[in-house]
Amino acid sequence: MIAAKENLPIFTPEEYFAWEEKQLEKHELIDGRVYLLGQVDAMTGGSVNHSRIAVRLTTIFDRHVDPSGCITGNSDLRINLLGTNDYTYPDVSVTCDDRDQTTTQYIRYPCLIVEVLSPSTEAYDRGGKFRRYRQNPALIDYLLVSSTSVAIDLYHKNDGGDWLILNYKAGDMIALKSINLSFPIEQIYRGLNLTEMLPVD
């Protein structure tokens, strides 16, 4: 997450929506300040993988939940962090809450959020962003997906309200209780170039 220009004012949500419509890039709103979404580090070659992984997950989820009336969102769908005036753009989200059927610019009650990791965003996605997301009682699964290796971390909230972390690798089945879906991890990574590019000295 990169801070936008220092001279920008503190925004209300309404001012933020109007301002962002005129921007070329997406911004998150945190504590009244706008932040440019973190960009995938070009040195990793991860931008193509990032996009393909996000598209695959969006497609898998949408096909599974659409008949039930749930909504699957891609990186263009904002989430309003419940109880705040903060707004973020996860890579993929799913909500099955009726209260999200009537909103037009954001959702508030996702049961599943996915962030595809990149070097420029991983620390924030695992730390500050997750701390904000998990304040929402509707959230059950938070999926962090590597774009450089076959590796997925699932933060799952159990029936007791405790967050457990499950680490998935090649050959594993991903199990998402939030939407009652299981699928092989290879379904996400098939055909991707996972060779990590090293910086040139």
Name the burial class of residue 104, with classes exposed (0-12), middle (13-18) and buried (19+) by CB atoms within 10 angstroms of its CB.
exposed
Average pLDDT over the chain reads: 89
3-state helix, strand, coil in the chain (%, to 5): 25, 30, 45
First to last CA, the chain: 26
Domains annotated for the chain, with CATH where assigned, are: 1-37 (no CATH), 41-189 (3.90.1570.10)
Higher-scoring residue by pLDDT: 19, 197: 19
Q: Tokens at residue 122, please?
A: 């991983």
Check residue 40 and give its pLDDT.
34
pLDDT tens across 93-111, in order? 999 999 999 999 999 999 9
- pTM across the whole model: 0.88
